[in-house]
Amino acid sequence: MVFILTEKSIKREQWGSKLGFVLAAVGSAVGLGNLWGFAYRSSQGGGAAFVLLYILVVLVVCLPIFVAEFALGRNTSTSAFLAPIKAAGPRWAPLGWLFLIAPLAIASYYAVIMGWTADIFIQSLFVGLPLNPEESSSLFDSIHSGKRDLIGQIFSLGLGAYIISGGIKKGIEKLNKICIPILFIILISLAIWAAFLTNSGVGYRNFLLNFDINQLANPTTIRNAFSQAFFSLSLGIGIMITYASYLNKKSDLPKQAIQIASLDTIVGLMAGLITFPIIFSFGLGETISKSTIATLFITIPSGLGQYGSIGRLVAILFFGLAYIAAITSLISLLEIPVATLIDKFKIKRNLASILTVGFTFIIGIPSALSTNILGNIDAIANVLLILGGFLVSFLVGWVIPKTLDIELKNSGSSSLTKAYLKFMLKYVTPIIVAWGLIISVYDLLKGWLS
Ligand code: PHE
């Protein structure tokens, strides 16, 4: 009895408005994954074939999982660590752990990449851009070595802790309401600018029109499409569960899932419409196809460096945009451990934020010191997201279908929408994700062993 009273007396925060929730979820989804991941994955796996697979995965797999995560979060009103247990009992505790480990792993290296982004932004603002790929690569070497790296990482995590300790409405929601409109304005302006570059057509062709049908069966392309979809939409990791736990009972979950997924996909495509023309205008296509995350930090600055002061302005906008996109994603990653600490140990948000950020910093040091380690953690984390997506769809589709019913009813969904989502989460989505998971693990191991 006493326990119940205490539970009730701690009132859970809520989003200030529906729009606030949608913007926060878009903020989480739109991040470095859209600006970098989309471009390098598409150039690795044959352009249009990758884009097509990506869109199919979003429609068939990710949209239903979105609704499943939202339903689970809103129904249980608790963070992703506890939600599976609360919904389906202690046997589901491992899924909670997955939802704690995966965001910490991603946040650990994400903050490092944000540090590089901030560094190049400052470099473009105050110093200028490198004039050729050699200069650019030595600039990147100095950026990601030693102290400079750690400073960027600490700065980004500190900023994250500051925002997140402000809470849901005054921290996360407020930041997104300011950042998302700015982000769209910069993005549209840059895409228009890129369209007028001399070789923009070659860039577009490589990105969207170069269709090689064999790529559809290439395990790397398939893995890339699944990884990109889950990473870019922040799915399979518990973020959408946690964000939905702050929702009131009335909002329409399927509609919001569609809004968020479409905005995120549009940003990914538009980012490609910016990066590809820049890269191909200077014949830098070779460098990016072999790319790791780091290469774009070399390719884009050296491409823009050849445009004089306009190029410098574009670099300032582009890296500023990337940083804004990234901070709204970083806080969503940090929110899971923070919410878990608050929900489980009833500690204050400030303390939870400091503990989370401190821990994230420590586990991120290896990634700050080695891009190789960073790349491997990224690859593993991406597979974990697909695993998380499989487990969520199985949980909601098979184990707690009633929860889905209740939440779709609360959403005011039509009977067609209800029937469609229930069918997908039961018979289609889990099977396709399981297939994607097997191929991704196979492709990852193959890469490591060869
Ligand atoms: N979606 C973010 C991006 O595209 C990254 C992210 C992944 C954020 C998983 C939260 C969870 O960059």
List Cα–Cα distances, 351 to 115, 117, 239, in angstroms.
24, 28, 20
> Under 8 Å CB-to-CB from 132, ≥6 apart: which residues?
302, 305
Residue 144 has what pLDDT?
Answer: 83
Residues 127, 121 contacting (CB under 8 angstroms): no
**pLDDT value at 5 more than 50:** no
Confidence of residue 3 (pLDDT cuts 50, 70, 90): very low
How far does residue 232's CA lie from ligand 1's centre (Å)? 5
Residues 114, 152 contacting (CB under 8 angstroms): yes
Mean pLDDT of 200-228: 88
Rounded Cα distance between 234 and 364, Å, is 20
Residue 210 has what pLDDT?
Answer: 79
Rounded Cα distance between 79 and 342, Å, is 9
Residue 371 has what pLDDT?
Answer: 87
Find, among 129, 108, 160, the residue nearest to 370 by Cα: 108
User: Greater confidence, 397 or 282?
Assistant: 397
Give nearest CA residue, ligand 1 atom 9.
234
Confidence of residue 364 (pLDDT cuts 50, 70, 90): very high
Q: Give the least confident one: 5-19, 316-330, 356-370, 401-415.
A: 5-19
How far does residue 117's CA lie from ligand 1's centre (Å)? 16
> Under 8 Å CB-to-CB from 147, ≥6 apart: which residues?
none
382 alpha carbon, distance to own chain's centre: 10
pLDDT, the chain, mean: 91
User: Greater confidence, 9 or 322?
Assistant: 322
User: Greater confidence, 303 or 362?
Assistant: 362
> Under 8 Å CB-to-CB from 36, ≥6 apart: which residues?
293, 296, 322
User: Greater confidence, 288 or 125?
Assistant: 125
Ligand 1 contacts CB of residue 227 (under 6 A): no
Find, among 197, 188, 194, the residue nearest to 275 by Cα: 194
Ligand 1 contacts CB of residue 137 (under 6 A): no
**pLDDT value at 287 more than 80:** no
Rounded Cα distance between 334 and 107, Å, is 7
**pLDDT value at 208 more than 90:** no
Q: Assign 49 to helix, strand or coil.
A: helix
What is the tens place of the pLDDT at every residue in 165-193?
999 999 999 999 999 999 999 999 999 99
Q: Assign 46 to helix, strand or coil.
A: coil
The domains of the chain, with CATH numbers, are: 7-449 (1.20.1740.10)
- Closest ligand 1 atom to 385 CA: 9
Rounded Cα distance between 374 and 384, Å, is 15
The single residue listed with the structure tokens 């910016």 is 274
Residues linked to residue 211 through DSSP beta bridges, in sequence order = 47
Q: What are the φ/ψ torsions at residue 171 (nearest 5 degrees)?
A: -105, -75
How far does residue 395's CA lie from ligand 1's centre (Å)? 22
Find, among 370, 377, 343, 379, the residue nearest to 104 by Cα: 377
Q: What are the φ/ψ torsions at residue 275 (nearest 5 degrees)?
A: -70, -40
User: Greater confidence, 282 or 350?
Assistant: 350
**pLDDT value at 216 more than 80:** yes
How far does residue 270's CA lie from ligand 1's centre (Å)? 17
Residues 213, 10 contacting (CB under 8 angstroms): no
What is the tens place of the pLDDT at every residue in 57-81?
999 999 999 999 999 999 999 999 9
Confidence of residue 402 (pLDDT cuts 50, 70, 90): very high
